[in-house]
Amino acid sequence: MITLKESERLKQLPPYLFVEIDRLKREALRSGTDVIDLGVGDPDRPTLAHIVEALYQSSLDPRNHRYALDAGLPQLRQTIAKWMKARFGVTLDPDEEILPLIGSKEGIAHMPLAFVNPGDVVLVPDPGYPPYRSAAIFAGGIPYSIPLLEGNGYFPDLEAVDLQMVRRAKLLYLNYPNNPTAATAEKNDLKRAVDFCLKRNILICHDAAYSEITYDGYRAPSIFEVEGARACAVEFHSLSKTHNMTGWRIGFAAGDRSFIGALAKVKANIDSGIFQAVQFAGIAALEGGQEHVDESNRIYEERRNVLVDGLNRAGWSVPKPKATFYVWAPVPPGYTSNELAQMLLKKAGVVTTPGVGFGAHGEGYVRMALTVSMERLEEAVERIRKMRGS
């Protein structure tokens, strides 16, 4: 057996802070505890029948059994372009400004490989989706945390970023509606980021995976609705959360041909495209109308109300999010986020995600996902209430 040391880049990855929670969860399950898992952002409802049927019928066609095109089927790119136009009023060239992805995570993780050289800086929101940071490291870049603070509506104060880091920065990751905080951004917020990056020659990578999961009449904007964004931004969308297709692995990137073309070069050297039957399923999802999305949001909104109202009655102080299927709950005094998450699992059988796992500025919060049934959420609230002696 040969002995190899891990690469220096792998050693730079932040520690996996959820290990202890995962261990405790496995222990609880082995002991017979009825665990309610609010830790995973994976929709519990099935993919719609017409999408499954499109996959099935397409899978019968031998033409779809071969290598797929790296750039995706022309029909899929055209469907995406129509959806972007109908949803956001944004006109995109389906041949050069849209790139289907094996889930939006693929493009998000590979974007630094297209533009970041060793020693370049990547501005990463903190707290934030962990692949932003790891993507910078794998490309040889330096991830630099920019705080998302409650007082700023969880939008970064870009003018406060260290000027030395700004001068070395190539990419800025943004994510609205936001995971994990569930914060939203208005067009004027995105405009400030666009103006900042245009002035400093920084590419914005806007992760819009939760753009369609919204409540209380809120509609999330695309960054391309902001003047100037086409010159400095790429936007990533996903079918995973909107259409209950997390396991199917399909999303897309959109933006100017120079940015999309560079990402396409990376993609062509790493994978062989999305299974074509899944691409036809993606077409069915995007052409399926807004009704099922509205119905899904209605269910998540009801769950949100049950969880947030229940926690607040139990003595917490939790705001109601306008988007995503997450609740970002402040940790009661006397605990770290990790300590609270462990206690909730041990004493209530409820799995949550400690905020510190998303970055240092996530300390003081836990994330709860609305991806279990109403009955299970009611049960989770009741267990937490009893645990706290309310």
Nearest one of 281, 277, 296 to 371, comparing CA atoms: 296
Nearest one of 27, 47, 57, 17 to 241, comparing CA atoms: 47
Burial group, residue 120, by CB count within 10 angstroms (0-12, 13-18, 19+)? middle
Say which DSSP state 246 is in.
G
Q: Side by side, which strands form the sheet with 353-354?
A: 326-330, 365-369, 353-354
Q: What is the pLDDT along the chain (390 residues), one digit of tens a residue?
A: 999 999 999 999 887 666 677 788 888 889 888 999 999 889 999 999 999 999 999 999 999 999 998 799 999 999 999 999 999 999 999 999 999 999 999 999 999 999 999 999 999 999 999 999 999 999 999 999 999 999 999 999 999 999 999 999 999 999 999 999 999 999 999 999 999 999 999 999 999 999 999 999 999 999 999 999 999 999 999 999 999 999 999 999 999 999 999 999 999 999 989 999 999 999 999 999 889 999 999 999 999 999 999 999 999 999 999 999 999 999 999 999 999 999 999 999 999 999 999 999 999 999 999 999 999 999 999 999 998 664
Helix, strand, coil distribution of the chain in percent, nearest 5: 45, 15, 40
Number of Cβ atoms within 10 Å of the Cβ of 257: 14
Q: Walk me through the domains of the chain, giving residue ranges and CATH numbers.
A: 8-37+291-388 (3.90.1150.10), 49-287 (3.40.640.10)
> What's the pTM?
0.96
Residue by residue, DSSP assigns 139-159 as: TT-EEEEEE--GGGTT---GG
Q: For residue 112, what are its two tokens? A: 């630094």
Number of Cβ atoms within 10 Å of the Cβ of 371: 23
Whether residue 62 has a cis bond before it, omega within 30° of 0:
no
